[in-house]
Amino acid sequence: MSRPAWVEIDLSALQANYAAAQVVHGGRVFAVLKANAYGHGALPCAQALAAQADGFAVAFVEEALPLRAAGITAPILVLEGAFDADDVQQAARHQLWLVVHQARQIELLAQHGGAPLHAWIKVDSGMHRVGFAPHEVAAVQERLAACPQVTQISFMTHLARADELEQPLHTLAQLQQFDEAVGALPGWRSVSNSAGIVAWPQTHRDWGRAGLMLYGAAPCASDTVLRPVMRLKSRIFAERWLEPGQSVGYGAIFTAPRRTRVGLVAMGYADGYPRTTPNGTPVAVDGQRTQTLGRVSMDMMTVDLTNLPNTGPGSEVELWGDLVPVGTVAAANNTIAYELLCHVQRVPRKVM
């Protein structure tokens, strides 16, 4: 017997979601695999998409190397670009496409003497983290075009508020800044993240960059049908009754108003289920929705079985997946699905 907690990764759902991103966006789409494919496993995800994907994207060079080592030959865009000269060497050797978002990175490319490089100039159209100001873009393009080792130049920007459909002005202003900055310069353009792909057709350019939507979590309200890729699961391993007035767990944050049957689930914050989860957060037991109660501890948590008479020790629990969207658990925790997906750890992964 071993602890009954696991995470299922449904690669057919990943393939269907990628296909949906391609249909909705048109043109080409990077499958974003940074942060170990948002906690889903970068290598199995890349392999599942290898026959389909126009390209992949990762955050930094070290995330790309295992994909190349495993025989992934599609383009890989490195979203943060090079941190040092060694990154540029690796990018050239493994044909990685490098984002260039600051002057130091232009120098790193200019000093590089090796194989040809494809640079993606990042325009700061309003996110104001990294990227060149719109008025600098033409000069950056000219400087890179003058480097013989830079054989292709493309342009990208990143949207700060595309998930807020009721706040269109920021997104539309970013789009205008980007289009004006790039003007008629030759090269591909890429603007849309997942929310841009599903909700902002005017942001679609040569390449989309699909992250969250690949994993089947909705980036914002939309008609695009997505299938959850991750199911975080466990089982009830014990049960007990609380009498009215008794409380359960650290901090006694749940006190039973009536006789309450509590199921103990082998899942805790050390597995990535958030400790901040409040009472009443949805969870499914043997396919039926119920709710959490009491504080999530490191290795176990408690759920309400009072109204589910046929459940008990051995019952299967879905923390998130098909019946409980990860976004619902995230919202209950004042965070986003991205963070919960990335934080899953310790539990064995079953790729299917």
Residues annotated in the binding site for substrate, as ranges? Answer: 129, 298
Q: Is 215 a catalytic residue?
A: no
Rounded CA separation 250/260 (Å): 17
Chain positions contacting ligand PLP, by CB under 6 A: 32, 34, 79, 158, 193-194, 209-212, 219
* Smallest distance from ligand PLP to CB 293, Å: 32
* Smallest distance from ligand PLP to CB 83, Å: 15
| Minimum CB distance to ligand PLP smaller for 217 or for 329 | 217
- Rounded (10°) CA dihedral 175, 220, 211, 109: 20
Token digits for 60? 């930094």
Q: What are phi and psi of 125, to 5 degrees?
A: -95, 0
Rounded CA separation 274/213 (Å): 22
Distances (CA, A) of 269 to 255, 276, 342, 347: 21, 9, 13, 11
**Residue 128 contacts by C-beta under 8 Å, 6 or more apart in sequence?**
none
* Smallest distance from ligand PLP to CB 238, Å: 38
In sequence order, the β-bridge partners of residue 149 are none
Amino acid in position 275: R
Annotated binding site: which residue ranges? Answer: 129, 298
Rounded CA separation 95/117 (Å): 7
| Minimum CB distance to ligand PLP smaller for 17 or for 292 | 17
Q: Which of 34, 38, 233, 338 is catalytic?
A: 34
Indicate if the alpha-carbon torsion angle 334, 252, 309, 233 is positive or negative: positive
Helix (DSSP H) and strand (DSSP E) numbers for the chain: 11, 18
* Smallest distance from ligand PLP to CB 79, Å: 5
| Minimum CB distance to ligand PLP smaller for 129 or for 258 | 129
| Minimum CB distance to ligand PLP smaller for 25 or for 233 | 25
* Smallest distance from ligand PLP to CB 141, Å: 19
- Rounded (10°) CA dihedral 96, 101, 103, 104: -50
Pairing relationship of beta strands 150-156 and 189-190 according to DSSP bridges: parallel
| Minimum CB distance to ligand PLP smaller for 197 or for 319 | 197
CB-based contact 176:159 (threshold 8 Å): no
Q: Which of 38, 122, 215, 250 is catalytic?
A: 250
Rounded CA separation 327/159 (Å): 20
* Smallest distance from ligand PLP to CB 35, Å: 8
Which residue sits closest to ligand PLP, CB atoms considered?
211
Q: Is 269 a catalytic residue?
A: no
Pairing relationship of beta strands 28-32 and 207-210 according to DSSP bridges: parallel
Pairing relationship of beta strands 55-58 and 230-242 according to DSSP bridges: unpaired
CB-based contact 304:260 (threshold 8 Å): yes
| Minimum CB distance to ligand PLP smaller for 111 or for 167 | 167
Token digits for 5? 């907690």
Active site residues: 34, 250
